[in-house]
Structures are given as C-alpha cells and as structure tokens.
C-alpha cells in the first residue's frame, strides 16, 4: 500500500519528508505539498492519509489522532513565524493575517490580546508583505517568506515563538502529523518515524539542498534546521500544546474584517 502524505512546502518540513522522496521511501508514500490550511481541507475530505497540519486542527478535530513523538516545534524563537509592524505593538489597530496557517493566526490574536493587551481588528490576506501593510498596521507571515521578508515601513518585528515563550515559559508546537480517521495508525507512525530518522542523519545535506532551493542564506538555513527547529517532542512540548489549546478554546474578542472593511477603516484614519 502506498500512502498519500501531505506536507507544507517550507524548509522546516524537509527533515520529516525528504526520505519519502528517495527511491526507498517513494515505495511507501506519495508526498503532496500545500499550505497548512489546504492540507487540513484535503485531510478532512479523505484525499490524504496523513498530513502535517497546524496544531489548531487537532483542537478542531478531536476525533483524529496525531503521530506521537514528532512535530514541528520550537523552544523559544521560531524565526519563520513573525509579525511585521508599521507601529509599536501597543499602537496596533489593524492586523493582516496570513491565510496559510490557522495556528499562527490564532497565536497572533492570543498574544496581542492577552500578552500585550492589544485589541485589534483583523483581516485575512494572501502572504504578500507589501499589500498586507497597505491595508493594515501589521502583517503576519509564516514559512520561508516569514523568515526572509523585509519592508522599509516596518519598525518592529515580533517573533511569535519568542513572544509565546516570554509569556508562558513554554515551548510551542506549530504543526503535527495528523491522520485521517481510517488510516492505519501503526503503519503510518512507523513510516514517519523512519522518514525523520533518515532526515536527522542527513541534516547537513538537507541544509545545503534547502538553502539552494529556497534562496535562503546558508548560515540562516543551518541555524534554523540545526538550532531552532525541534522535531522530537517531549512532555514540555505537550504542556505547551495543552496551554495553547486552553488559550484557543477560551475564545478571542477581536473581529476579523474583510479586506474592503480594513481598507475603508484605514482610509478614514486610525480613529475612524
């Protein structure tokens, strides 16, 4: 049996998935690449057996299981999930959220409201920093773009992993391997752990390949994959995931605006 495995197209997934694209791994799986939100949709429709989805999906679909011991996580800073601000955080009124990830969008709202005391309004937007900052005071970007983006109007950049750790003292789980309800749990768990052990053993090779593929400076890519990303999670990460679940389920007061609403409010001025 050959499984359909969904993965994000970012460099942080490389240690988890690249073995599945070798001759040995491809006998067992076909890898489908898409943003986290699209992977969640395909998984729910049964188009995938397992997918690397935002951790929020585990809260939204409690009937599903995730592969134990593996995740995309960080202990403190994450580098690739950042909020780019045109004004100091305390002054933010409107925030554009990258539509690619539910987890990062939810975390942005949680941190702004509960850690910083900022009650902003939100607009969902495609991940383009220039257009996002034209309609909002700040923009959330994730993945490779979140790690490398820059803009002359930005006066403050908030690393969401570091902000979460500063607030809670806990690490953060960004994504998990979530299985379809009908998928064979034991077989997929063994396959994905095998894939990661290969990635772990070939990490330096992956750094070279991913830096070239994504056009990211080699030193940054090496630091990211060697020092920032965590793939084998322990009890402290499960504590962080449980805290995030608690905060997520508690609800948020901020309303998500349409793009047109956000543009209209900004055109009226910051008090409009």
In CATH, which of 2.40.50.100, 3.40.190.10, 3.40.980.10, 3.40.1000.10 is domain 3-73+171-233? 3.40.190.10
The CATH code that applies to domain 81-170+248-267 is 3.40.190.10
Express each pLDDT in 9-56 by its tens digit. 999 999 999 999 999 999 999 999 998 889 989 999 999 999 999 898
Cα angle vertex 143, ends 139, 147, to 5°? 70
- Please tell me the predicted confidence (pLDDT) of residue 262: 34
For residue 130, pLDDT beyond 60: yes
Express each pLDDT in 133-180 by its tens digit. 999 999 999 988 899 998 999 999 999 999 999 999 999 999 999 999
For residue 265, pLDDT beyond 50: no
- Please tell me the predicted confidence (pLDDT) of residue 252: 57
Rounded to the nearest integer, the mean pLDDT of the chain is 89
Of residues 133 and 100, more confidently modeled: 133
Question: Percentage of the chain surpassing pLDDT 90?
Answer: 79
Rounded to two decimals, what is the model's pTM?
0.88
For residue 256, pLDDT beyond 50: no
Q: How far apart are CA 222 and CA 243, in angstroms?
A: 30
- Sketch the domain layout of the chain as residue ranges: 3-73+171-233, 81-170+248-267
Domains 3-73+171-233 and 81-170+248-267 share a fold: yes
Q: How far apart are CA 89 and CA 155, in angstroms?
A: 10
Give residue 268's pLDDT band: very low, low, confident or very high (50, 70, 90): very low
DSSP label at 173?
Answer: E
Question: Percentage of the chain surpassing pLDDT 70?
Answer: 92
- Please tell me the predicted confidence (pLDDT) of residue 160: 98
239 phi/psi in degrees, rounded to 5: -65, -40
User: Per mean pLDDT, which range of 63-67, 103-107, 177-181 is the poorest?
Assistant: 63-67
User: Per mean pLDDT, which range of 73-82, 131-140, 244-253 is the poorest?
Assistant: 244-253
- Please tell me the predicted confidence (pLDDT) of residue 270: 31
User: Per mean pLDDT, which range of 23-37, 50-64, 68-82, 199-213 is the poorest?
Assistant: 50-64
Neighbours of 212 (CB within 10 A): 11
DSSP assignment of 99-143 equals TT-HHHHHHHHHIIIIIS----EEEEE-S-HHHHHHHSSEEEEEH
- Please tell me the predicted confidence (pLDDT) of residue 36: 84
- Please tell me the predicted confidence (pLDDT) of residue 269: 30
- Please tell me the predicted confidence (pLDDT) of residue 258: 37
User: Which are the contacts of 106, defined by CB distance < 8 A and separation ≥ 6?
Assistant: 56, 248, 252
Which residue(s) pair with 140 in the sheet? 83
């Amino acid at each position: 049996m050959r499984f359909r495995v969904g993965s994000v197209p970012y460099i942080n997934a490389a240690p988890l998935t690249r073995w599945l694209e070798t001759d040995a791994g491809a006998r067992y799986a076909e890898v489908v690449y898409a943003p986290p939100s699209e992977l969640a949709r395909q998984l729910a429709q049964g188009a995938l057996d397992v997918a690397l989805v935002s951790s929020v999906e585990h809260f939204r679909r409690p009937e599903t299981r995730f592969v134990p011991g593996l995740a995309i996580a960080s202990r403190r800073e994450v580098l690739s999930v950042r909020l780019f601000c045109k004004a100091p955080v305390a002054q933010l009124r409107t925030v554009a959220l990258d539509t690619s990830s539910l987890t990062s969008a939810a975390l942005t709202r949680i941190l702004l409201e509960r850690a910083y005391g900022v009650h902003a309004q939100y607009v969902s937007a495609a991940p383009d920093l220039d257009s996002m900052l034209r309609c909002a005071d700040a923009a959330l970007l994730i993945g490779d773009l979140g790690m490398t983006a820059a803009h002359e109007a930005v006066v403050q950049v908030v690393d969401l992993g570091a902000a979460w750790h500063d607030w809670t003292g806990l690490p953060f789980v960004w994504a998990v391997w979530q299985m379809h309800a009908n998928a064979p749990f034991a077989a997929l768990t063994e396959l994905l752990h095998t894939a990661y052990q290969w990635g772990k053993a070939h990490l330096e090779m992956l750094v070279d390949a991913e830096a070239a593929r994504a056009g990211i400076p080699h030193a940054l890519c090496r630091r990211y994959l060697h020092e920032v990303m965590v793939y084998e999670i322990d009890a402290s990460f499960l504590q962080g995931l449980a805290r995030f679940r608690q905060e997520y389920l508690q609800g948020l007061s901020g309303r998500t605006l349409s793009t047109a609403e956000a543009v209209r409010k900004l055109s009226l001025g910051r008090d409009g």
